[in-house]
Structure 1
Amino acid sequence: MNAISWNCRGLGNSRAVRALRDVIKSLRPNIVFLMETLSKTERIKHLCSKLGFDNYWAVDCVGRSGGVAMLWKNNVKCNVVGFGSNYIDAQVMNANDVLWRLTGFYGFPERTRRRESWELLKSIANRSVLPWVVVGDFNDMISMNDKKGTHAHPPALLDGFKQTIEDYRLIELDLMGGKYTWEKCRGKPEWVRERLDRAFATTSWWSLFPLCKLNVHHCVHSDHEPIQLEFYSTEHSRKKFRFRFENIWLKEENFHEEVSAHWRNLNPSHFLSKLVEISSFMEKWGKRFFNKFREKIRKQKELVALFEDCADATRTSRYFEEKKILEDLLLSEELYWQQRAKSFWLQDGDSNSKFFHAYATGRRKKNQIDKLKNENGEVVTK
């Protein structure tokens, strides 16, 4: 599932519609939020079906400016709960019936009205305690690094917008694919690039979508680039995202080095998303390790067998050395299954780990829920 936000600067001409159709065809979004449509509701209604969407909500432009719209498909449970000339606020429901908020926001482009934008954002934030993500063209920046070109952005505006975000503990999503989303005067000395389009989310929303991504995509028609918000929920398959740390990994010489290197190479982002990424890396590392682990035992047994019938002192000594290595490997395997079985009361067990393997399998069966009794006292098995 993903959503697109784009300041399209008018949908009254064929070039703009063609560019929008190309973006939708390439990214296949479930939800689209459009700003500066410069269109009336009837025009959006016509475009909705033409672009392959089933539902829409539009706010008319005023004169030759403004206009916002949200389009979505039937495979998304979306309900608009608030709107205005600069925003559309919707409640979205996950496949597992978890409710959250998605707000498309367009900040006032006039510098003299920036405070109005901040107050509007605060007003929307106070309307619900649901997990919330807000995306759009804020016409504002947080730091000097958000702009490249002539005339630095006024520090007072930077501080005001940043304070608004901090007041509601919103966390910005890292933008991938480019640093800026708007430009003017390309190829000229006064070429200016700015990051105006962005997305912010509450901690509770991050918990629902720790793997979310925000990408910027190039559009040939407009000076504004569309941004794509990809949702990756951990709720659809809890088993898929379940992570278990294995103590036996710590015995591997290269474990710390590889994990540390991967952590350092991750993009700076919300801590929860980095934690999920490093957990995923360790899970894949562990699978490779266990396959190598069994292969090591097999090869070590073959090596011990080579020296088993040797009588001379040198080769006998080698036999005991290789046998000690095999015993260490078998102990490591035992500890692996011991942790998985959560049976710590047995200090020394059968080195073939059959007991622990059976115990772990038994725990899985024991933890399975075969039936539930509902509030009417009926037993439900499916």
Structure 2
Amino acid sequence: MNVIGWHCRGVGSSCTVRVLKEMMISHKPDILFLSETLAVSNKIEALASKLGFSNFFSVDKQGRGRGLAMFWKHNVVGNVFDSSNNHIDLVVKERNGSEWRLTGFYGYPERGRRQESWNLIRSLASASTLPWCVLGDFNDLMHNDEKKGRHKHPQNLLNGFRNTIEDCSLIEVDLKGGDFTWEKSKGTTNWVQERLDRCFASSDWWSRFSLCTLTIFYAIVSDHEPIKLELVNTKIPSNQFRFRFENTWLKESSFHEEVSSFWHNLPPMHLLPKLIEVSKYMAKWGREFFHKFRKEVIRQKEIIDSLKNREDDDGVQIYFYEKDKLGDLLSHEEAYWKQRAKSFWLKDGDTNSKYFHVTTSSRKKLKFLACLKNEKGSLVTNHVDMCILLKNYFTKVFTEDGGGPVSTISDSELRITSDQNSKLTEDLSFTEFTQAVKTMHPN
């Protein structure tokens, strides 16, 4: 999904409309936010038709200034949550049912009214717990190096805006951009040059974003340049990433250093998405490491075999050195399979790698369903048909039509007591959580 925001400084000129049409062709935005439209609703409606948007919402201009508009395509399920002269809130519903909130924002340009902008941002932050993305022209700076010219931006304004960002748990998305030019349809001269700053999210952005509702992304338009926000892979994949820590990684000396370096080099973000990024890095590191140490075991055995016939002192010393090295590699392999076999009663160092491997394989075989027998006595082996058979079986068991024990239970037996209800509905305590974690095996 692509979102574009632009401080267009009026949609009345044919030049601006041509730029917008070219933007639609080049970048195909699903959602477009315009600030400083200097227009009323009937003109915005006509513009929506020209640009190919089936839905829009606008805030009329005030006097000779202001005016906001939000457009979205037919494939976007959107609902306007709230609006004012300075913002439009749109709640977007994805195909998988998840929702997130996009706010098109335009801050007060007058320095004396910056506090009003900051107060509005704070109130918007507390208005909903949905994942939130804020895009627009804040008319504010966080750092002096964002300003051109010799005169520095007042420090109190920098501090005020920065404190607002921190109070609302906002995170600034890095901007990446390059110059490009729109040309006249006929000719040869450039009539307008704009820079489009792109705001890219990583490929797993949505999974982080949906899990951390307080993570708020925003981007500041500088010099009235359009911004493109590209949401990559917003649909949550069916095969969810599951992280498992491997004990054998701790035996590798480079593990701590490489993971620590990756952690410190990550951009500022909330703890949960940061942990997810690190876990994915460790999983990738671990996959490469496992294949690496298996190859090393085979290679080490070949080296030892080549040294068996040597009887000189140097050859004997090398032989025992390489044999100790093989022992370390086998210890890696043993820890790897021991954790999978879940046979925690056996200590490291017993070189029972084969036993652990067989245990893991047998556990997999025990959990595997090769076939099921239907009511007619025929064997069903197809996975889809087995799923349907199981669903029908349990539907019949747990309904009145099944003639099972459910129909014989009295109403009084189906009720729970008030004491049971209070225990079921009370909040999870930290003590309960601690006890549950401590009952788990470290592996």
Aligned to 1:350: 352
3-state SS of 2:253 partner = coil
Aligned to 2:405: none
Within 5 Å, give how 1:141-160 maps onto structure 2.
Answer: 141-160=141-160
Shift of 1:317: 5.0
3-state SS of 2:353 partner = coil
Aligned to 1:190: none
Cα distance in structure 2, aligned partners of 1:234 and 1:256: 32
Cα distance in structure 1, aligned partners of 2:8 and 2:149: 23
Q: Deviations over 1:187-234 (max 9, x none)?
A: xxxxxxxx9x9xxxxxx95734899987789xxxx9412233344578
Aligned to 2:71: 71
* Distance 1:2-1:329 versus aligned 2 partners, 3 A rule: same
Which amino acid letter does the alignment assign opposite residue 34 of structure 2? Answer: L
3-state SS of 1:149 partner = coil
Aligned to 2:108: 108
Aligned to 1:7: 7
Shift of 1:79: 0.9
Name the structure, 1 or 2, with higher relative contact order (CA <8 Å, separation 6+).
Answer: 1
Cα distance in structure 2, aligned partners of 1:27 and 1:129: 30
Which amino acid letter does the alignment assign opposite residue 175 of structure 1? Answer: D
Cα distance in structure 1, aligned partners of 2:159 and 2:313: 79
Cα distance in structure 1, aligned partners of 2:215 and 2:127: 26
* Distance 1:327-1:160 versus aligned 2 partners, 3 A rule: closer
Shift of 1:357: 3.7
Cα distance in structure 1, aligned partners of 2:9 and 2:45: 18
3-state SS of 1:175 partner = coil
Aligned to 1:207: 211
3-state SS of 1:248 partner = helix
The answer to whether the 8 A contact 1:210-1:232 is kept is no
Cα distance in structure 1, aligned partners of 2:287 and 2:220: 34
Q: Deviations over 1:333-354 (max 9, x none)?
A: 1211222444322324632342
* Distance 1:323-1:141 versus aligned 2 partners, 3 A rule: same
Point out the structure with max Rg over C-alpha: 2
Cα distance in structure 1, aligned partners of 2:145 and 2:48: 37
Cα distance in structure 1, aligned partners of 2:129 and 2:339: 40
Aligned to 1:185: none
Which amino acid letter does the alignment assign opposite residue 207 of structure 1? Answer: L
Shift of 1:310: 5.2
Give the structure-1-normalised TM-score. Answer: 0.75
Q: Does 1:176 align with 2:168?
A: no
Question: Taking every aligned residue pair, what percent have the same amino acid on both sides?
Answer: 46
The answer to whether the 8 A contact 2:136-2:220 is kept is no
Cα distance in structure 1, aligned partners of 2:84 and 2:217: 27
Aligned to 2:329: 329
Which amino acid letter does the alignment assign opposite residue 106 of structure 2? Answer: Y
CA RMSD between the two structures = 3.9
Q: Which one has the bigger helix percentage?
A: 2
Cα distance in structure 2, aligned partners of 1:214 and 1:126: 16
Structure 2 residue ranges without an equivalent (≥5): 178-196, 200-207, 370-385, 400-443
